[in-house]
Amino acid sequence: MYTLRFTRRLLADVAPGRVDDTAEAPPTTALGDWYVAPVLAKRRALLLCTSETSLLSVVLPAEHLGDLPEHLAVALVGVLHRLDVPRKAVAREIDGMTSGDVGAARDRSTLGSMRGLATRACAFLAASRGDLDVAALYAHLGEYRSRAAGPQTAAARAVALLTARPGTAGRASSTGGGRR
Task: Collect the ranges in the chain with pLDDT lower than 50.
Answer: 170-180
What is the four-CA torsion angle of 34, 36, 40, 43, rounded to 10 degrees? 90
Distance CA 157, CA 127 (A): 27
CB contact at 8 A, 35 and 159: no
Q: For 107-119, what is each residue's pLDDT tens digit?
A: 999 999 999 999 9
Q: For 47-79, what is each residue's pLDDT tens digit?
A: 999 999 999 999 999 997 889 999 999 999 999
Distance CA 123, CA 42 (A): 10
The structural domains of the chain, with segments of one domain joined by +, span 2-167
| Distances, alpha carbon 106 to alpha carbons 57, 58, 61, in Å | 17, 19, 23
CB contact at 8 A, 151 and 167: no
Tell me the three state secondary structure of residue 48. strand
Residues 63, 64, 70: CA angle, nearest 5 degrees: 180
